[in-house]
Amino acid sequence: MSGLDLHQQDVRDSLSFPWPEPPQPGHTQEVAPGVLWLRMPLPFGLDHINLYLLRHEHGWVVVDTGLNTPQSKQVWESVFAEVFSGAPVLAVIVTHFHYDHSGLFGWLVDRFQCPAYMSFGEYQSMFVVPPKGDEPNWAFSQFYQRCGLSEQEVTEFQPMLSQMSYDIDAPTSFRRLRENDLLKIGNRCWRIVIGSGHSPEHACLYNEDDQLLIAGDQILPRITSSVCVNVSEPEANPLGDWLASLRRFRNLPDSVLVLPAHERPFHGLHHRLGQLQQHHDSHLEALVAALDRPKTVAELRPVLFPRIRGSFDLLMAIGETLAHINFLRDEGVLTRTLDGEAWRFGLSSSGGQTFVATEDIHV
């Protein structure tokens, strides 16, 4: 079932998926001349990440690296031998700092002694590590108690975080990617398009001639990228950044083939941007509607995320609920008061009752 069959494209929700099946884990599929889609396994519910390999006359350029595990290294060894046939990696580009993308960044760069490309914000973020040890530190505990979780719930995060912590092998030096930078790779020119909200300064690669967009986690076809506030920046408004990014990505043509980091490549960029915006707008409206009295993040969490399976889900759901709350605070819709250990959020007298979605939806 692999291979492109133009007559039987898989069409769902107005998105079309040219490849009905992904390549087998550890295998590649050519999605454009000289652009290979590598399916790298992950040991999570989300069991894979898509990496992209760009052919160059003297070797290969790699976009994203996989998790820092023996399994990923094994996959890379077989790619070096069987796909690259001994040709070198000339550069490694990493879209953003999350460990499934950047885990083997330094390992690849050191092995081939090649340049490491990343935006400044993502490079810096690789060095911000969650608190280690068995006991949560005071800032971590305080943040989640401010969100309305009990001491017990906060204590349960720590073993989960220790278990989930994968090391990022960060390169010692890097070359900075900025918006609109052009990278010439083989006979293609790729323009850097920066998004924000899922991570601070996420780099995508856009090729105009062949209408290709290597999108990382910035635009995924079915799942929605997490947009979370966490202990490292409690007052942040990543949802504001995310919604602004969705609007800016509309400047790219709808005809691009989107090459995402999870699931499958697809057509239908503008439709997907509209769906993502609608998803967050409906979350914002649901939060406002739920505020019949001032509530904590933990009390509001089930409005957006009614089903939680375990501590990791709870951590992400709290972070994403707070992202929506902080957005509404920045818009002047909500106010925050401290009630004991926890913040309570209520409708402000001016903006709350009249809140409407930020922009018309065009889908």
CB of 199 to Zn ion, least distance (A): 6
Nearer to Zn ion, 127 or 138 (CB): 127
Write out the residues near Zn ion by the rule CB under 5 A: 98, 217
Closest Cα partner for 320 from 291, 287, 353? 287
Nearer to Zn ion, 199 or 296 (CB): 199
State the amino acid at position 63 in one-letter form: V
Nearer to Zn ion, 62 or 298 (CB): 62
The Cα–Cα gap between 113 and 115 comes to 7
Nearer to Zn ion, 217 or 241 (CB): 217
CB of 126 to Zn ion, least distance (A): 12
φ, ψ dihedrals at 319, nearest 5°: -60, -40
State the amino acid at position 344 in one-letter form: R
CB of 316 to Zn ion, least distance (A): 12
Task: Determine how β-strand 175-177 pairs with β-strand 116-119.
Answer: parallel
Q: Helix, strand or coil for residue 217?
A: coil
Nearer to Zn ion, 23 or 200 (CB): 200
CB of 117 to Zn ion, least distance (A): 17
Beta bridge partners of 206: 191, 213
Nearer to Zn ion, 217 or 299 (CB): 217
Nearer to Zn ion, 129 or 361 (CB): 129
Question: Which DSSP category does 267 fall into?
Answer: B
The Cα–Cα gap between 62 and 36 comes to 10
Q: What angle do CA 72, 43, 15 make, to 5 degrees?
A: 95
Question: Which DSSP category does 342 fall into?
Answer: E
CB of 85 to Zn ion, least distance (A): 31
CB 101: neighbour CB atoms within 10 A? 26
CB of 217 to Zn ion, least distance (A): 4
136 with 157: CB under 8 angstroms?
yes
